[in-house]
Amino acid sequence: MNADFATLATLAAPTAAAAAAAANATIAGTAAADHRHTVLVVDDTPANVNLLANVLDKTYRVQVATSGQKALDLVLRQPPDLIVLDVMMPGLDGYEVCRRLKADPGTQALPVLFLTALTRPEDETRGFECGAADFIHKPFNPVTVLARVATHLQLRALHEATRQRARWLQTELDQRLRDVDQLRDATLHVMVSFAEFRDQETGNHVRRTQECVRLLARWLRDQGLRPELDDARIEQLARSAPLHDIGKIAIPDGILLKPGPLTAEEMTIMRSHAMHGWEMLRRAADRMGPEGALYLSDGMDIARHHHERWDGGGYPDRLAGEDIPLSARLMAVADVYDALISRRPYKPPMPREQALQHVRAESGRHFDPLVVRALLANAEALASIAERWRD
């Protein structure tokens, strides 16, 4: 029977070899002899191994293994491009070899073609469940073997090309998203800079409050008090914090830079910065579309509501308790604490311990008690932030 197979292989060689060569050209781009694809033949019967090797070696580099374990060892040392695998072998049978290959991320993409005398439908079903790509039945036709091998190598090449294209597209998309984020961040930086240039007395206030908001949010998350504050959410809050006083751009210099106390009328104008800031960011979000609205939503909340009070006595909307956005509650504590410890034209800096006592006294009235707890628990870290970003 082996002699008959050999005769068939000789007769079929021109047609099958041409099909295999075309597949190699599609896969590799060139058909140079030293770039031929490698096929691993696994069978415990040496005669079968020799017969398959004679069919394949005119087109492919052929590796051979006479047991399942030897095949696995060879794949780890020198991975082939495709495996022709006998099913019935002592020790590890073909099904188990295929299962192990498919369970390993490094080899699960290898096409496995079962070559077997088993013909029952349930045998094929079991093989496909193990991850086989195809079945070739014994006695085999060499033309069929070469055509199936060529087809599955071509499919693997197309799949790999698709994966590489997907990876390239993902890399490009990630870069575009980074570019968009950088542009957005730069835009926010410019907007914040306008407010800083108008009110230079605040110095590094925006940077200190930004770091304070990040610190407080992380503590609340780590203590299990606000588990929804994952890293991405915290960074979004911190990135939005510098926008809290963006509305001061609209306040006249005579009021914004006044060295002494403000009159009641001037105070009303000064307080309007909350709504001015919200309106400016709302218009920007409208121009940016749905993603822009999401990106600026925290900034809008902070700008409008960071002067609300826990007891409902703040402005501009007299919100109370949990109705005040968490971002604004964090900002309220960070803003007031930093203002207390900072020098202003109308006051000297307050000692840090005294500032902490003031915030503690306002817990449940001006400030969210949980946020106050976060502030008091991080006194040393707050001192480091103040030192790093001194005016």
Question: Quick one: pLDDT band at residue 198, thresholds 50, 70, 90?
Answer: low
* Total number of domains constituting the chain: 2
| SS3 of residue 265 by DSSP | helix
Q: Are residues 219 and 368 in the same domain?
A: yes
- Please report whether residue 286 resides in a domain: yes
Mean pLDDT of 327-353: 92
Cα–Cα distance, 82 to 62 (Å, whole number): 10
In which residue are the tokens 């956005």 written?
A: 325
Q: Any idea which of 32-36, 144-148, 173-177, 373-377 has the lowest mean pLDDT?
A: 32-36
pLDDT in tens, 279-310: 999 998 888 888 777 888 999 999 999 999 99
Q: Are residues 148 and 186 in the same domain?
A: no
pLDDT in tens, 62-74: 999 999 999 999 9
What does pLDDT average to over the chain? 86
Q: Are residues 226 and 97 in the same domain?
A: no
The DSSP bridge partners found for residue 95 are none
Q: Are residues 195 and 128 in the same domain?
A: no
Q: Which among 133, 164, 195 is the end of a domain?
A: 164
Q: Are residues 145 and 65 in the same domain?
A: yes
Spell out the residues 6+ positions from residue 145 whose beta carbon is closer than 8 angstroms to its own: 16, 52, 55, 56, 84, 115, 136
Helix orientation angle between 352-361 and 369-377, rounded to the nearest 10 degrees? 160
Q: Are residues 211 and 299 in the same domain?
A: yes
Give the range of the structural domain holding residue 85, as residue numbers without chain letter: 2-164
pLDDT given for residue 11 in this prediction? 35
Spell out the residues 6+ positions from residue 85 whose beta carbon is closer than 8 angstroms to its own: 42, 71, 94, 97, 98, 112, 113, 114, 115, 132
Q: Tell me the pTM.
A: 0.59
Q: Are residues 342 and 286 in the same domain?
A: yes
Q: Are residues 18 and 146 in the same domain?
A: yes
DSSP tag of 131? T
Q: Are residues 9 and 54 in the same domain?
A: yes
